[in-house]
Amino acid sequence: MKQLCYFSLMAFWLISCSKPIMEESDTKQDFSFGVVDSLDVDVLGSLMLVDVSPKGKHFVFFDFSSRGFVFTDDSGEVPHAFSKTGDIPDAHGFLLEFPGFVDENSIALSGMNGIFLYDLKGNMLQRLAHPESLEGASTMSFVGKGMETTRIGGKTFLLSNSVRTRGTYPGEQQFYDSFKALELIDIDRGEFLEIVPFEKGSRFLDGNGYFASDYAPALEAVGDKLYIALGGDPKLYVYTLGSDGAILEKSVSLDIPGFEKLPITSRDEFYEGAMSVKTSTPSLRNIHVVDEYVLIQYYGGFSENKEKEINALMGSGDSKGFLELYNRYEKEVSKGILVLDRKNLHIVGNVPLPEGVNNAGFASSGDYLWMERSGSKEKEEDFLRIYKVKLQKHD
C-alpha cells in the first residue's frame, strides 16, 4: 500500500541584526551589495517576498496567515490580495511552488490541482492539469524562489519542478535513470515536456539513495538559456531551450569553501510513497542572472557527523536538545553567493550574505536584487521593508 504524504517546508529564517545592512567586512571583497532604494509595505501578518515583476513594478508576497498572496506596487501600496484555499473551483490545492510573474499583470503557480495562471486580482486565467495525477508531494520553498517564465521563439513558456513519479521511487535504479528535474510548459498548447536528467557524471548516479531535497533544482531562465543546479551536487549546467526540449551546452564544477558532501543513504531506506526533505544538508538554493553575472546562492550544510548527531537527538525525543544543537550548528554553516562571469562561467567572486536581511534568499528583476530586511525580535512590527540592491564590483 502506498503511503500518501503531503509535506511542505517553508524555509523562512529571520535573523535580527542591529548592525547596518551593508556593513563593511574586515576582508576586502571583489564584490559587495549596495542598497539603492527601499520600499515599506504596511501589513499585519507574516509575509515573505516571492517574486518581482519583469519591470520591477509589482511584488508578490506569500502570506503565511491566510495562505494567500499579497501584491504591492513599487511604492509599497497593496492594490490586490487573494487566497485560493478551500473548496472552490479555482483553488490550486496544496502549494507545490510559489508563484512567479508571467508578465506585469499575471502570475503562475503550481499546486496539487494543477498549474494555475491568475491575474493580480485573483481571477483564474488558465488551468493546466499535471501530466500525471498526484498522490503526494514534497516541496521546499525559499524567499525569491517561484516559478520561472521565459520567452522562446516569441512564445511564453513556464518552467516548473517535475512531480512525475514515472512509476518508480528513489529506492530503485529506474528512478535515477528516468529522472527529469523540470517541466517545460507551452502555455498556448497546454503541453508539458520533461527536461534536465541526471547527466553523465552526476553524483546522483553513484548507486546510493537520495532525498528530494538533495536534488531540488535551483534555476534561472533568460530567453533560450537555462542555468540550473541540482541541490547538493555543486555543478552548474547551462542548456539551450527550444520548443522541442533542452540541449546541454556546458557544465561547470563549482569549488565552494565549506560546502559539505551529501550524506550517503542506502536505497534500502526508501520505500514507495514515502517522501521527506531535509534543510540541513548542502544545497545550491537559487540562481539569479544580473548584468553580466550569474549569482548562485549556496548553503554549505552540516557535516555528516553533525547530521548524525542531530538526528540521534531528534530520534531520542530530546526536542529541546535537538533545537539547541541545530541552531548552534546552523550558525556555523557556510553560506554565501558565488559570482560567475556569464560569458565563460568562471568564478569571479564569493560574497557573504549581507547582514540585517533575511538570508533565506532574495528575488531579482532586471539588474537588481530585492532583499527583505530582518524583522525585530524585540517587538512586533506592522511593516515589512524591502531593499533594492545592486551588485557592485570593486577594482
pLDDT of residue 289: 96
Half-sphere exposure of 227 (CA within 13 A, CB side): 23
C-alpha cell at 165: 513519479
Q: What is the mean pLDDT of residues 260-283?
A: 88
The pLDDT, as a whole number, for residue 354 is 84
Residue 159, pLDDT above cutoff 90: yes
Q: Are 102 and 156 a contacting pair, CB within 8 Å?
A: yes
Judged against a pLDDT cut of 70, whether residue 380 lies above it is answered with no
The DSSP H or E segment spanning 35 is strand 31-42
pLDDT of residue 107 exceeding 80, the answer is yes
**Poorest-pLDDT segment among 5-19, 112-126, 227-241:** 5-19
Q: What angle do the packed helices 304-316 and 319-332 form, to 10 degrees?
A: 160
Average pLDDT over residues 316-335: 92
Mean pLDDT within 230-234: 96
Three-state secondary-structure class, residue 63: strand
pLDDT of residue 170: 95
d(CA 361, CA 128): 29
Write out pLDDT tens, residues 272-310: 877 778 888 999 999 999 999 999 999 999 998 998 898
Q: What is the mean pLDDT of residues 56-81?
A: 93
CA distances (Å), origin 364, targets 208, 295, 335, 343, 390: 35, 10, 19, 20, 10
Q: Mean pLDDT for the chain?
A: 88
In this predicted structure, which of 53-67, 129-143, 304-318 has the lowest mean pLDDT? 129-143
Mean pLDDT in residue range 33-58: 90
- Give the pLDDT band of residue 65 (cuts 50, 70, 90): confident
Kind of pairing between the strands at 137-141 and 6-10: parallel
Q: What's the confidence (pLDDT) of residue 14?
A: 28
CA atoms within 13 A on the CB side of 325: 16
CA 325 to chain centre: 26
Amino acid 138: pLDDT: 66
| DSSP string of 191-218, one letter each residue | EEEEE----TT-GGGSS-B--GGGS-EE
pTM: 0.90
CB neighbour class for 158 (10 Å; exposed up to 12, middle 13-18, buried from 19): buried
Q: Distances in Å between the alpha carbon of 1 and those of 66, 271, 272, 273, 311?
A: 34, 10, 9, 8, 27
Residue 394 has pLDDT above 90, yes or no: no
Give me the sheet containing 335-341, strands edge to edge: 283-290, 293-299, 335-341, 347-351
Instruction: Among 29-33, 83-87, 151-155, 301-305, name the one with the lowest average pLDDT.
Output: 29-33
Q: Would you say how long the chain is, in residues?
A: 395
Q: Determine the pLDDT at residue 275.
A: 75
Structure-model confidence comparison of residues 21 and 125, the more confident one: 125
| pLDDT recorded at residue 278 | 83
User: pLDDT at residue 10 above 50?
Assistant: no
